[in-house]
Amino acid sequence: MTTIKKAVAAAVVAALVPAYAAAQGTPAPGEAPLKIGVVSFLSGAAAGPFGVPARNAAEITIEMLNAAKVPAPYATKGFGGAALQMQLVDEAGSTTTQVTEFRNMVQRDNVDIVIGYISSGSCLAIAPVAEELKKLTVFFDCGTPRIFEDKSYKYVFRTASTATMDSVGAAFYVRDTMKAKVKSIAGVNQNYAWGQDSWTDFEASMKQVSPGVKVASSQMPKLFAGQYNAEISTILGAKADVVHSSFWDGDLEAFILQAGPRGLFKRSTVILTTGETAMYKLADHIPDGVVIGARGPYGPYAPDNELNKWFSKTFADRYNVPPNYAAYQMTQAILGTKAAWEKAQAANGGKRPSTEQVIAAFERLNFESPAGKVEMAIGAGHQAITETAYGVAKKVKGKMTVANVKRYPATMVNPPDGVKSSDWIANGFKK
């Protein structure tokens, strides 16, 4: 090809790019709908238990908001009258992909707000980019406390508690329900940040709650290993009083299926901090007495308020399964953003608020969600705290329920503002 032909080809390619960009659509001024970028796992292992339920929750919440069918205090249409338009992005792929897609959403597709992210790795990578691009971003599920403990952000919020709460709550539940003194603990957690941090926090909390407790074994199999015979054998041999696991999805289910017939649940008290996602499906394999966590007051631990009644019924009617904690968290994020938006709009004389005004309204906001009260109390007003609850599985007339539920108020299971989780635990949970 001659140089001229090559230049023409290059020009054509160069022209395609802006054409593609233009095809994305530019926002109309005035009463344009609000574009919400929703990021959740649509493929891969996390899609089943978290990604897709969260997407479903986003879908139905946005639909109901646009039809103004949500109970008070969220009865107005959309966000303050403006309709909502959802743009869905798959959270799968490397962090490079996620950052690329975030930038595309914000700069190419002109979304107004981004709500999403389940993986802590994504959240850590996206937060500085959100700050750089000055786009309001609400994390709804990722657990790492590092986001607001390592740095502070203006444009980033998280409307669910961090994973620290799960581990601390589990330790408190053990303290309050196990009559005999706990002498040894063991753990089976996935060998990556989530599992490592969950175990570290649980171990540290147990050492505060039961001084002198020994770690009989800490198993850290690879994520998605699927085969846990060796780990189960080791834990059985360790004869610990309490076994902690933050396994999720396929790994959790495989673990339950493999551990049950081998008698692990009979030998030790097993705590499954994300057990709620598997409790109905695997009801026949979870014996009574297994401690079930839902990462907060979600699912079976949700309060019996109007919002929850509306949410669980609407979700179950549409998707034929009750909403799990990922679904609750997504709806919580959307409703929290709505509350902040409308507060800012009211302060702005009824006109559409700017991003900065919404941020000012969001900081230290308290709002209601189907899971109860949410306070944006720590992380300089950007990180939410909620209460948590733990209970044990119990079959009542063949149906899986939770019993012996203990609730812990938000300030008891979350660190105070400005204090790092690990320091807070090491100092005996000082308020």
Helix (H, G, I), strand (E, B) or coil at 291: strand
Closest CB to another protein among 189 and 308?
189
Torsion angles phi and psi, residue 323, rounded to 5: -70, 140
Q: Which of residues 27 and 350 has its CB atom nearest to another protein in the complex? A: 27
Q: Rank residues 6 and 430 by Cβ distance to another protein and give the closer one.
A: 6
Token duo for residue 254: 């495989």
In the chain, the largest separation of any two C-alpha atoms, in whole Å, equals: 85
Torsion of Cα atoms, 239 then 240 then 245 then 251, to 10°: 0
Calculate ∠ Cα 373-40-111, nearest 5°: 90
Min dist CB 85 to another protein, Å, is: 15
What does 60-79 look like in DSSP terms, one character per residue? HHHHHHHTT-SPTTS-SSTB
CB of 263 to another protein, least distance (A): 5
Question: What gap in Å lies between CA 293 and CA 336, rounded to an integer?
Answer: 23
**Judged by CB, which is closer to another protein: 197, or 387?**
197
Least CB distance to another protein at residue 233 (A): 4
Q: How far is the CB of 146 from another protein (least distance, A)?
A: 7
Residue 113 in contact with residue 185, Cβ under 8 Å?
no
284 or 288: whose CB is closer to another protein?
284
Integer Cα distance of 75 and 68 in angstroms:
6
- Is the CB of 1 or the CB of 180 nearer to another protein? 1
Q: In this structure, are residues 273 and 244 in contact, taking their beta carbons and an 8 Å threshold?
A: yes
Residues 6+ apart with CB under 8 A from 78: 33, 34, 65, 66, 84
- Give the residue with the Cβ less far from another protein, 131 or 406: 131
Q: How far is CA 341 from CA 348, 353, 355, in A?
A: 10, 7, 9
Q: Which residues of 305-340 are buried (b: 16+ CB within 10 A; e: fewer)?
A: bebbebbbebbeeebeeebbbbbbbbbbbbbbbbbb
* Measured distance CA(122)–CA(158) in Å, rounded: 13
Separation between Cα atoms, residue 155 and residue 108, nearest integer Å: 19
Q: Are 277 and 255 in contact (CB under 8 A)?
A: no
* Choice between 268 and 345, CB closer to another protein: 268
CB of 421 to another protein, least distance (A): 14
**Which C-beta is closer to another protein: that of 136 or that of 361?**
136
CB of 257 to another protein, least distance (A): 5
SS3 216: strand
Closest contact distance (angstroms) between CB of 343 and another protein is: 28
* 20-to-86, 136, 341 alpha-carbon distances in Å: 20, 25, 32
Taking the complex as a whole, the smallest distance from the CB of residue 187 to another protein amounts, in Å, to 10
Asked whether 186 and 243 are in contact (CB, 8 A), the reply is yes
> Shortest distance, CB of residue 9 to another protein, whole angstroms?
8
Minimum distance from residue 131 beta carbon to another protein (Å):
10
Q: Which is nearer to another protein, 217 or 414 (CB)?
A: 217
Token representation of residue 22: 């233009």
When the beta carbons of 90 and 417 are compared against another protein, the nearer one is 90
Question: Least distance in Å: CB of 17 to another protein?
Answer: 6
Per the CB < 8 A criterion, the answer to whether 388 and 299 are in contact is no
Unique residue bearing structure tokens 């966000």: 79
